[in-house]
Amino acid sequence: MGGRGETVYGRTKEDERHIMAATSTTLRFALLLTVANAFLDSYTYLSRGGVFANVQTGNMIFGAIQLSEGRAADAAAHLWPILAFFAGVGLAAHVKSGRVDRYLRHPLRWAILVQATVLAVIGFLPATVPNSCVTVPISFVAAMQIGLFRTIGDLTYMPVATTGNLMRLVEAGYTGVADHDRTAREASRIYAVLTVFFTIGAVIGALATRTLGVHAIWLPAALLAATLVLFVVDERRGTRP
C-alpha cells in the first residue's frame, strides 16, 4: 500500500482521504442518504411487520410494550434490529479509526458499496421469508451510515431520523432571527431542506412499497449507488467540494 506520502494520480493518499471525506459531508450526499433512509422506514413498516429498521427508539418502545404484555416472541422481533445496529456502529467506528486504511483503499466507498449491495440482495427475497432476514441487515446498514456520515460541513445531522434535525432547525432559526446571525439562518435552511427531503423519501417509500412490494427496496439501493458516483466524480476532479 505504500507510505503516507505515496502518490496516486499525482495526489497523495492523504489528499484522497480529504477529498472523500469532503464528498461525504456535502449537502447533496446527505440528501441522498436522507431520502434513502426515510424510504427504508416506510418500506420496513409496511412490508415487514411494522418494524422500524432504522430508528431504534421505536423498536425499543414497541419491544418493551410487547414484553410487558407477555408477547416475548413479538418483542424479540424488535431486539434483533437493535443488536444489528450495535454491530453496524461498531464497524463504522473501526472504519473511522483509520485502521482499515492499511488493508483497504477507499474504505468509505467500500462501506457504501456493501450497504447498496445488501439492499439490492434484500430485494430478491420473497415476502414469505421471516421479517428478521430483512430488518436485521437494514438496521446494520443504517447503523453504519450513522457512524460514518453525520456532518454537512460543520453541521451535525442525522441521516436516518428527523427528530434531531427538526430540533436543530428550530434552534438555528431562532438564533438566526433573534441574533441576526447569517450563519445560523443558513444552517436553518439546510435543516429545513433535510426535513423536506426526509418527508419526500417517506412518501415515495410508502407509495413504492404498495406498488412494487418487496422489490421497492431496489430504489434506495440505487440512491446509495448514486453516492458512489459522487466520490468518483470528485476524485477525478481532484477537488474538495
Pull the grid cell for residue 79: 431486539
List residues bridging with 12 in a β-sheet: 7
pLDDT score, position 181: 95
> Between the CA atoms of 40, 44, 50 and 54, what dihedral angle is there, to the nearest 10 degrees?
-50
H or E stretch covering 7: strand 7-8
DSSP class of 11: E
Overall pTM surpassing 0.85 (yes/no): no
Q: Domain limits of the chain?
A: 12-152+202-232
The angle formed by the CA atoms of residues 151, 205 and 234, to the nearest 5 degrees, is 40
Of 50, 44, 82, 31, nearest to 201 by C-alpha is 31
In a structure prediction context, what are the per-residue pLDDT tens digits for the chain, which is 241 residues long? Answer: 444 444 333 444 454 455 456 888 999 999 999 999 999 989 988 988 777 777 788 778 888 999 999 998 888 877 888 899 899 999 999 988 888 888 888 888 889 999 999 999 999 999 899 888 888 899 899 899 989 999 999 999 999 888 899 999 999 999 999 999 999 999 999 999 999 999 999 999 999 999 999 999 999 999 999 999 988 888 777 655 5
H or E stretch covering 151: strand 151-152
CB 32 within 8 A of CB 223: yes
Q: Beta 7-8 vs 11-12: how paired, if at all?
A: antiparallel
d(CA 138, CA 134): 6
